[in-house]
Chain A
Amino acid sequence: MHVSSKKSPLTWAVHISVVVLVALWLFPTVGLFVSSFRTADQIANTGWWKALFTQERQAPAIRIAGNETEIDGQFVITGTLFDNDKVEISKWGTSSRAPEAYEPGETVDVGDDASLTVAADGAFRLAAPESFGDSRLPRVFTTATAPPEFTLQNYRFVLFDPGNREGMAKAFFNTLTVTIPATIIPIVIAAFAAYALAWMRFPGRSLLIAAVVGLLVVPLQLALIPLLRLHNEIGIGKGYLGVWLAHTGFGLPLAIYLLRNYMVGLPRDIIENARVDGATDFQIFVKIILPLSFPALASFAIFQFLWTWNDLLVALVFLIDSTGETTVMTKQIVELLGTRGGNWEILATSAFVSIAVPLVVFFAMQKYLVRGLLAGSVK
């Protein structure tokens, strides 16, 4: 093929451009992911991109602790500064003003006739002629190269710590409680309506289709106050029922539109034949249309799932009352952004907990999502 051979000088440029694009698009998310496995201290001190490599950095002060033993008339405390045996100290010190004063292996006077030696691997030896008793032992500042180190502690704290009032466990289940009914109910309602709009003849049909298309773009912002008032008047108030109904209403135009477009494309012969054989509309719908429409149903289900899972505004207005018992994950994260703006380990982990489920759904069912997108917007 002469065409492809002509392209070859450009091929490298294309490959490199795509790598750059993908890297750019992936970089922010990876940053959050990596950060969620680092300790607060690591996040605060170095950029996450350095976490993947062995690096030299100043560790926070470690106070020496241990049991003293008496050896040759000297009172000695020995031990090691780090649990990790791959750490290598390059400089150390005993005050925050001069944290890099000494070389490893050096023996220094730390006052009260006590002397301290810190080896490169973190082993220390503190010795003095008199017992240390209850006096405060010196602190050690180290500059050390440490291999990458990750922890699951953040996830344990955010998800399973019962003492953590800002934990995500409850919000996770609340979000799930909102999402599942809010995904299933509109599908059922929309499927019947879509069948009527696609395969039944009645006056005003095309007008209704146009109305659905129009409602597709109506901003849901308009619905907030009138519907909240309505919910209060009929006694639903703020709660799950209200948010389910609201999500159902807001999701319907897309559902009807997607499903109708798909059902219209089903082969006419099958439906006509069934009619001739005496099947009622209800039977045709349940036995023929629904099974054949599975791809469209799946696409809409994914849309609605992602949309309700990721939603903040509808939950804020229709669900979350002043007690905060029904808080959802998005709201919880916004709260954390306000109160724990600097605690990246908690923020990153909480955000990743809320992102994880949609990501799994996304990668597992991408095919249907793409199909739905194509059906929903290309006219």
Chain B
Amino acid sequence: MHPALQGLITIIVGVGGCVGYFYFSNQFLDRVLFPATGKNAGRNINRANQIRPWLFLFPALFALGLYLAYPVFATLWLSLTDRDAGGAFVGLANYRQMFDEPKFWEAMYNNMLWLIVVPAFSTGFGLLAAQLTDRISWGNVAKSLIFMPMAISFVGAAVIWKLVYDTRPVNQDQIGVLNAVWLTFDGGLFSVLVLKLIPALVLIVFAAFLAYSVFQMARSLIRGGHSHSATPWWGLVMRGLLALIAVWLIWLSLGSIVSLAGAALPYGEPQTWLTIPFWNSFFLMAVLVWIQTGFAMVILSAALRGIPEESIEAAVIDGANPFQIFFRIKVPQIMGTIVVVWTTITIVVLKVFDIVFAMTNGQWETQVLANYMYDKLFRANDWGVGSASAMIIMLLVTPILAWNVYNARKETR
């Protein structure tokens, strides 16, 4: 049968089946099981109304249970068993094997970088774009153009960016934009300014900002420790974790400054960007930042518009300049939304697969967890280790999951 015809039949059967199920199960409930007639009419109506929600919910609950909840446990079980031994229980052997693989740690390390860089830059650019476009007449057009990459598939984006990163031999015209730009640098004063001083300056500002945040956090912890501890224990753990990450980032950026200052950049030579270890991960991240910025911008722009006018007017009357208004008045008021955007992008990053799969397939030290997992599951056919790495992804998502559920519970109560 032709797939299109099959699709059409499925739509009709699927949709018709769903609607039919809802309609007839309702009829059955009201007419046959608990008819609203006879001497038990009142009791029957109540009974029917108790059962009806579950009729409405059943297909959804069934699909959710089968396609999302069950696999979590099944994967957990698979990660503890050995497929070759007929599914025998092997304890943590798969995890031990995985932890011994350098490729896994490479994927972990890269994933951590992705987790920091992509949400930070997407949210940052998104905030910038939201703030700027809100102030001009053609802002809506600008917004929808920046938002557009959201509609493009990761694979399509991979092709788009591979063209940007394309490399030709030295004596030919470069057809990749990045190399064409790169070849305009010749090692003169301008190159040093753009490629060394400005990045170093950005990194210094970044490190200083982090150091300041850590300092503030430590001070509030020390001060809060004496009086009363309003924050629960997990709040302290989270803060400690954040502080550790921040210290690691400061260390990274200081290291980069030193290596950048000493590096002899290969001016005039076209680069194969995706094969330069460590930096190639950033070229892949740029693709996701490009896609996610629009999302961050749309949400943050709505949040910015929701800020009450009075607070801004008051600040203007008090003589605040635009930068102060933005950082001291607006940003604190939309902090909650920034956190939501950040966590949403974090989840996207944890699942990122297509970009790496299509652009480098994890070669040249660009491996990430999701692609590592795919490699293990479908290329090496090692279900044990593959499931173990899937569980690692699940573990990384869990704090966000718990946080979301906690918030949802608070809201519905």
Residues of A within 8 A of B177 (CB): 27-28, 31, 47, 49
Residues of B within 8 A of A222 (CB): 71-72, 75, 390-391, 393-394
Residues of A within 8 A of B132 (CB): 14, 17-18, 21
Q: What's the minimum C-beta distance from B392 to chain A, rounded to whole angstroms?
A: 10
Distance in angstroms between the alpha carbons of A280 and B22 in the assembled complex? 13
Interface-lining segment among B106-114, B247-255, B265-273, B396-404: B396-404
Interface size, chain A (Cβ < 8 Å): 115
- Whether B161 contacts A377 by the Cβ 8 Å rule is no
- Whether B303 contacts A378 by the Cβ 8 Å rule is yes
In the complex, residue of chain B having the shortest beta-carbon distance to the beta carbon of A47: B175
Residues of A within 8 A of B129 (CB): 18, 21
Residues of A within 8 A of B64 (CB): 211-212, 215, 249, 252-253
Residues of A within 8 A of B44 (CB): none
Residues of B within 8 A of A244 (CB): 10, 14
- Whether B175 contacts A216 by the Cβ 8 Å rule is no
Please pick, from B7, B26, B377, the residue contacting A280 in the complex, using a CB distance under 8 A. B26
Can you list, as one digit per residue, whether each of A218-253 has a CB less than 8 Å from chain B (1) or not (0)? 111111111100100000000011001110111011
In the complex, residue of chain A having the shortest beta-carbon distance to the beta carbon of B174: A47
Residues of B within 8 A of A177 (CB): 3-4, 6-7
Given A317-B378, A374-B298: A219 touches B158 (CB 8 Å cut-off): no
Given A173-B3, A249-B64: A241 touches B10 (CB 8 Å cut-off): yes
Q: What's the minimum C-beta distance from B29 to chain A, rounded to whole angstroms?
A: 10
Given A192-B22, A362-B151: A223 touches B68 (CB 8 Å cut-off): yes
B338-394 residues with Cβ-Cβ distance < 8 A to A are 340-341, 344, 347, 350-351, 353-354, 357-358, 370, 373-374, 377-378, 383, 386-387, 390-391, 393-394
Interface size, chain B (Cβ < 8 Å): 118
A202-223 residues with Cβ-Cβ distance < 8 A to B are 202, 205-206, 208-223
Q: For chain A, what secondary structure do more than half of its interface residues adopt (helix, strand, loop), or is it mixed?
A: helix
- Whether B347 contacts A282 by the Cβ 8 Å rule is no
Distance in angstroms between the alpha carbons of A205 and B411 in the assembled complex? 13
Interface-lining segment among B140-148, B192-200, B203-211, B238-246: B140-148
Residues of A within 8 A of B260 (CB): none
Residues of A within 8 A of B383 (CB): 225
Can you list, as one digit per residue, whether each of B32-71 has a CB less than 8 Å from chain A (1) or not (0)? 0000000000000000011011101101110110111111
Judge whether B275 is part of the interface by a CB distance below 8 angstroms. no
Residues of B within 8 A of A223 (CB): 67-68, 71, 75
Can you list, as one digit per residue, whether each of B308-322 has a CB less than 8 Å from chain A (1) or not (0)? 000001001000001
Judge whether A32 is part of the interface by a CB distance below 8 angstroms. yes
Q: What's the minimum C-beta distance from B320 to chain A, rounded to whole angstroms?
A: 11
Q: For chain B, what secondary structure do more than half of its interface residues adopt (helix, strand, loop), or is it mixed?
A: helix
Residues of A within 8 A of B56 (CB): 192-193, 195-196, 200, 281
Given A226-B78, A378-B337: A14 touches B136 (CB 8 Å cut-off): yes
- Whether B63 contacts A252 by the Cβ 8 Å rule is yes
Given A217-B401, A222-B71, A223-B67: A28 touches B160 (CB 8 Å cut-off): yes
- Whether B354 contacts A330 by the Cβ 8 Å rule is yes
Q: What's the minimum C-beta distance from A174 to chain B, rounded to whole angstroms?
A: 7
Residues of B within 8 A of A359 (CB): 148, 151-152
Judge whether A373 is part of the interface by a CB distance below 8 angstroms. yes
Judge whether A344 is part of the interface by a CB distance below 8 angstroms. yes
Judge whether B259 is part of the interface by a CB distance below 8 angstroms. no
Distance in angstroms between the alpha carbons of A68 and B370 in the assembled complex? 66
Can you list, as one digit per residue, whether each of A359-378 has a CB less than 8 Å from chain B (1) or not (0)? 10111001001100110011
Judge whether B409 is part of the interface by a CB distance below 8 angstroms. yes
Distance in angstroms between the alpha carbons of A82 and B155 in the assembled complex? 38
Q: What's the minimum C-beta distance from B351 to chain A, rounded to whole angstroms?
A: 5
A237-288 residues with Cβ-Cβ distance < 8 A to B are 240-241, 244-246, 248-250, 252-253, 256, 280-282
Would you give 13 A-B contacts (Cβ < 8 Å), ordered by A? A47-B173, A181-B14, A196-B56, A215-B69, A217-B400, A225-B75, A226-B71, A227-B67, A249-B68, A326-B3, A334-B357, A374-B302, A378-B299
The 7 A-B residue pairs with the shortest CB-CB distance in the complex, in nearest-first order: A249-B67, A310-B153, A193-B60, A226-B74, A362-B151, A196-B56, A223-B71
